[in-house]
Homo-oligomer: A and B are copies of this chain.
């Protein structure tokens, strides 16, 4: 994997990530393909939306259909019919958020499958092996996510565990696929700036191909998230990619790019689509509202996606109210297209030296409108 910085604007960066399955231009948003599929979209739709890289969840695929089966069927790329870059997380966040029954020790974490109640064990080594079988281009260390708020003692204990696991994950990242898979470290540390700094420095010291910022958007106030992101980004190597996990709303992407983040993922565009909410440059459109019953305009006049080229808000509202599956596909396609256009426009502005003006215009147009129609908060799918 190679990462090149193309341009900067303050802390904001435009880069180019070259993986075994092609190039990703950053900043980038990664649609979430939980079970090796982005909900309601095919690879054809993803291509049309401008997706360059998708995320898949190791935790879910480990449980069903199993990483060995995925390897047997050509790895994630062959399995899901997507020949461009793929990133997998380690499963740490899902163990923390989805498996109620879990036992964490230095060795690893034991948890129950929400699918069938069976017991499973993940260690840093197993998490890497699972991701080697899945075959993504970017993989992650196993980490422990902390709840928010958390005591200082618990936070320190958790951080030390995450750091020990990070070193073991790196040591396990060997074998025939290691050169084709970039391994990212994950910076934890909770909401405490001092612990976040310690986490960033210690993770960089271990040394990874890129750095994820984990444990954000878990309940801390928005200003704290922005400040912690800025702090951590400032401590990471300039020449390597930075990925803010699970974030976020369009305004979060803009504010985090401004603070030096290169990569994002979030279920917001896909999940909110299934709840009838479309993102537009003038803020979210909530289709169940009666004001759209006779609205012959497209979702977003600025958008060139199939949903906006072919259909009215009135029709999309009708589909949503009637529970038609096509509603999910069209709204998801639009929302993913919107997020990808947003990062593409940010990249263009960084390269052109106009990112400050872009950010001001975005705030004036989108953020004001969004404040009156708050989208749901993200959570794992």
Contacts and interface: CB of A to CB of B under 8 A. Distances in A.
Contacts of A319: 35, 37
Given A40-B326, A72-B294, 19 more contacts: A35-B322, A35-B324, A36-B315, A37-B319, A37-B322, A42-B326, A60-B322, A64-B321, A65-B318, A65-B321, A73-B294, A73-B315, A79-B312, A79-B318, A80-B315, A81-B310, A81-B315, A325-B329, A329-B329
Interface string A52-89: 00000000100011000100110000011100000000
Interface in A314-341: 314-315, 318-319, 321-322, 324-326, 328-330
Given A44-B306, A73-B312, A315-B80, A325 B39 contact: yes
Interface size class, chain A: 35 or more
Interface string A250-276: 000000000000000000000000000
B41 A326 contact: yes
Contact of A314 (B35, B42, B73, B324): B73
Contacts of A296: 73
Interface in A290-313: 293-294, 296, 306, 310-312
A43 interface: yes
A79 B314 CA distance: 8
Given A35-B318, A35-B319, A81-B315, A306 B42 contact: yes
